A and B are shown apart, each in its own frame.
Chain A
Amino acid sequence: MKEKRIKKIIIVGGGTAGYMAAAALTKVLSKQNCEVKLIESEQIGTVGVGEATIPQIQLYNKLLGLDEDDFVRRTKATFKLAIQFKDWDKIGHSYYHAFGDVGKDMEGVQFYHYWLKMRQLGKAGDIDDYTLTSTACNQQKFMRSIDAGNSPLSNIAYAFHFDAGLYAIYLRELAEKSGLIRLEGKVIETQLNEQGFVQSVQLENGDIHAADFFIDCSGFRGLLIEQALKTGYDDWTHWLPCDSAVTVPCESAGEPWPFTRSTAQKAGWQWRIPLQHRIGNGHVYSSKFMSDEEAKQILLDNLDGKPLGEPRIIRFTTGKRKKFWNKNVLALGLSAGFMEPLESTSIHLVQAALSKLFTFFPTLSFDQVDIDEYNRQSSFEWERIRDFLIVHYHTTKRDDSPFWDYCRTMDIPPELQQKIAQFKKNGRVARIDSEMFNELSWFEVMYGQGLHPESYHALVDNFPEDLLERRLESIRNVMINSVDYMPTHQEFINQHCKSE
């Protein structure tokens, strides 16, 4: 069996995905058994501008054995409790997609069903009042979980905003310490063997590097997965019509918020990602509905601080490779596909792909059954996230531009149609298998988007109304008291992980 082992891996590309792969592979694989090489070119820029994440990133950090405070300091990161969606349903309205629990479930029925009823009766406040992380966002508070019994402070879900460039450097250091061989050079040619497997890559300086297994992190162009192996691409632009982004960082404006803000614009949306030293900004738009100049101007007009540099335009086609893993090439990051960072899923998809790679790690025989299963599971994950993104666009009530008219009236995937129909009917979320976003995420976004269910869980009506009113009031008070106890986001950073 030993002679069948993968002994050489080459990662092509050194952005966030490339170094996430390098750090994980060098951590897991013994360098005596397997050489991991990363080839990157400084001539080729990376797309990363400031990354927002979701709580699952903590699993990746745990795999690497990261000291979280050190990681936050080094990447000038801030903490993230939610995404705020502004002007998505209609102009002037906003809601949070908050991490963690909402209220407290009762009698086996999820809290939000009780809330739906009381809200309909005008006897409940905003859902944020019953959600620890939303309340904390409103007051710019943050802390990690503490041992506090039944208090919601015992279970605070959070993620990070960080500087993608610094993150890549941080991971590079870790990977190099663990044996990563990093080469500077531009890949200009790929050699295939008789079976069509990638045999080696040639650099501009003429050097040829061979490997058993290649990880393509070369970005949108997919140097190996597409240019060499012609894998093909599923285009999802008809469902997610944005195809461009213009990005620029700006100076910080006051204390960093513990949430990402996504503001819907005339033909797309704008992100605001607070870091310790600046704010990352970007405007995602559809070039069919808006010119680059106009997009750039909207971005600049809506910055909270002075821009730090010239805005940069990025083009993309939303969708995914027909196969994420083809022969001996695995596509990761932008090489695998692209979904706009509306729900901060880019890093998660890299992390999930690495986790699956370890599960299905190949031998030199590259058994198709493993590759097929990897691709099947990955496609499922991508498609369900895609549906979650589509729901933000499709359920809008905005009719102030042709872009939103298109989104509101476009056809959507059948699974999503069913999900929306059921939610409208009775507030239930028909989650498919183990899709990544849970029922609460779907509830928060669909309700926030103005999909107000006709009904709720049928058993709620039989819960005494006066008791319910008292319970809701009590939960609201618990949230207020808990958030009172929390330090501000800035205080927490200053105390634990302030960057130099």
Chain B
Amino acid sequence: MNTTIKHITIMGSGIELYMTAAILSVALLPFGINIKVLALPTTDVDALVETTGPEFSALCNILGLVERDVVRQCYGTFRLGSRYLANHHDWFVPFAHLGLKAQQDDFEQGLFQVLKPTNINNLNPWSPASSAAMSGKFAIAGKDRPDLQQALDYGVHLDAAQYRQILATLCQKQGVEWRELTSSSLQVDRDDLGNIGTVVVDGNPIKADFWFDLRAGRSHIAWQDWQSYLPVTFYAQWQALPTQTLSPYSQLQQLQGGWVKTSPLQNGKVVQVFSHQKQCDLAQIEQQLITLGLAPQSTISWKAVRCHVLESPWQGNCLSLGEAAIDLGGLVFSKLQCVQTALVQFIDLFPDLPIGEHNRQHYNNVWQCFVQDALDFSAAHYLPQSTSYSNCLNDLPKSLWQRLQLFERLGRLTPMHSDAVSESQWYHLLFGLGLRPQLNSVVLSSMTEQQVQSATQQVKQSIAALVAGMPSHEQYLARFYPPLNQ
């Protein structure tokens, strides 16, 4: 006889814990499932900024939050994608598609064909989102223009402390049973199959039907180490004074030995540094930051990082989440994004008791699909500089190598396994990295060079006209999204 899960307990800390409790409570409390949280003392430094992708709007809907209120309370700004200053170029990777429509036969390939003989190293004029972002423009399209909504798909930058507060309030409102612990060590009674029987807290055993484990740094777990593909070794972050202009994007700037990412908020900007230097060479990074005018007032506090993933995060009656399941370094995917993805997958597979192996296997398989896409995209940021990657098979994940090969030759992408990354993001990233497809699309072969050129030129002009009519990001924020806490 199968029964429904009635008691869920979440162990962990940080904003990921709040998000887990919030999502689970909204999804499961209406069904009479009890959610309990064992909040461990935070051993890690919480992120200062949360950068989201286009999933943010849907997440607000799920959580019953008013998107506008969240953005305002969190000193939020919008992001149409990321601006890259790398490989000696300045280019943009938007969330939204290239061209005016989402589905256009071989528009991308036509564009690559037109750009092949030129020195143009970005696709910005042919992407509404990139064009708008690079002009400092932003607007959310009305519901009567789903085409523009797609073309200007956006995420947000949020003040992480404020965001956490919103999630905490939501959990409280939902009636999540919250227990703050003073010690970070828990006595977890786990059998060989990974089932958690009890967790002892202050001498008292706690039982649950299902567990979520967000505790980082558990040494007994066999990780897949990704150091060779994602060589981040040290991370640091700090808040800087607001910039003159609020850009509708995050900026990723390549350093010698790392990346620096800046994310604008309405109350200042957050600088995050991802180094792949040894500890003794961190001074070189710091020197570069001084040169760029991005160094903090005080000493940089570096945190050691090692990128990893857990192959099967669902074992027995416990799902590992957050840093307990994956660390992608944080340059492209935040920890919170990985948690959200995992929770959506889990709720879709919500199990009965006893939990069948099939649920676990299915979840872990779907998780691996996300992991593969996310790893490929993240690892592409650490490629050796090259105009061809055909001889790099041994240095790259095979699926990434295949992706690079296919793009280099035909300007196309291998099929995605998940929705972790959009096709458009891949096109822009690979083009920005300097890859140029060798072959023209056969689908366009019935058009002359002039016809292809003229078609792309028309799209460019239409996009320019569209962007010209948009307000600046700052105007838009001031008018519709002023901070609530001013």
Contacts and interface: CB of A to CB of B under 8 A. Distances in A.
Interface of A: 1, 27-30, 33-34, 108, 358-361, 363, 367, 369-370, 373, 377, 418, 421-422, 425-426, 428, 430, 433-434, 454-455, 457-459, 461-463
Contact of A29 (B351, B390, B442): B442
27 contacts: A1-B438, A28-B446, A30-B447, A33-B446, A34-B445, A108-B348, A358-B442, A359-B410, A360-B410, A369-B406, A369-B409, A370-B406, A370-B409, A373-B406, A373-B414, A422-B361, A426-B358, A428-B349, A428-B362, A433-B415, A455-B2, A458-B5, A459-B27, A459-B350, A461-B31, A462-B31, A463-B31
A418 B350 contact: no
Contacts of A359: 410, 412
A361 B406 CA distance: 12
Contact of B33 (A34, A373, A462): A462
A430 B442 contact: no
B405 interface: yes
A28 B362 CA distance: 41
B2 A1 contact: no
A377 B415 contact: yes
A370 to B, nearest CB: 6
B32 to A, nearest CB: 6
A339 B410 CA distance: 31
Given A367-B409, A373-B406, A418-B358, A1 B443 contact: no
Interface string B1-15: 010110000000000
Contacts of B33: 462
A458 B4 contact: yes
Given A1-B438, A30-B446, A430-B362, A459 B410 contact: no
A422 B358 contact: yes
Contacts of A454: 2
B227 interface: no
Interface string B352-393: 100010110110010001000000000000000000001000
A1 B445 CA distance: 13
Contacts of B412: 359
Nearest to A359: B412
Contacts of B5: 458
Contacts of A426: 351-352, 356, 358-359
B475 interface: no
Interface of B: 2, 4-5, 27-28, 30-33, 347-352, 356, 358-359, 361-362, 365, 369, 390, 402, 405-406, 409-410, 412, 414-415, 417, 438-443, 445-447
Contacts of A430: 358, 361-362, 365
Given A433-B369, A455-B2, A370 B443 contact: no
A462 B30 contact: yes
Contact of B445 (A30, A421, A433, A457): A30
B35 to A, nearest CB: 14
A108 B347 contact: yes
A463 B30 CA distance: 9
A455 B402 CA distance: 40
Given A426-B359, A430-B365, A458-B352, A28 B442 contact: yes
Given A430-B361, A459-B350, 19 more contacts: A1-B440, A28-B445, A29-B446, A108-B348, A361-B439, A370-B410, A373-B402, A418-B358, A425-B356, A425-B359, A426-B352, A430-B362, A430-B365, A454-B2, A455-B352, A457-B350, A459-B27, A459-B31, A462-B32
Contacts of B358: 418, 421-422, 425-426, 428, 430
B419 to A, nearest CB: 12
Contacts of A360: 410
A28 B402 contact: no
B406 A433 contact: no
Given A360-B410, A373-B402, A462-B32, A433 B417 contact: yes
Contacts of B356: 422, 425-426
A364 to B, nearest CB: 11
Nearest to A433: B417
Nearest to A4: B439
Among B31, B361, B409, B445, residue most surrounded by chain A Cβ atoms (within 10 Å): B445
A50 B443 CA distance: 30
B433 to A, nearest CB: 19
Nearest to B415: A434
Contact of A33 (B351, B439, B445): B445
Nearest to B348: A108
Contacts of A369: 390, 405-406, 409
Contacts of B365: 430
Among B31, B358, B417, B447, residue most surrounded by chain A Cβ atoms (within 10 Å): B358
B233 to A, nearest CB: 33
A454 B361 CA distance: 18
A418 B414 contact: no
A216 to B, nearest CB: 19
Contacts of A457: 350
Contacts of B349: 428
A111 to B, nearest CB: 14
Contacts of B31: 459, 461-463
Contact of A361 (B361, B369, B442): B442
A454 B445 CA distance: 55
Contacts of B441: 358, 361
The 6 tightest CB contacts between A and B, nearest first, are A462-B31, A361-B442, A422-B358, A30-B446, A458-B350, A430-B362
Given A30-B445, A462-B30, A418 B361 contact: yes
A369 B438 CA distance: 14
A200 B447 CA distance: 29
Among A359, A367, A454, residue most surrounded by chain B Cβ atoms (within 10 Å): A359
Given A28-B442, A426-B352, A462 B4 contact: yes
B415 A461 contact: no
Contacts of B352: 426, 455, 458
B382 to A, nearest CB: 23
Nearest to B358: A422
A203 to B, nearest CB: 28
Contacts of B28: 459
B4 A461 contact: yes
B474 to A, nearest CB: 37
Contacts of B369: 433
A11 B109 CA distance: 26
A361 B445 CA distance: 11
Contacts of A363: 439
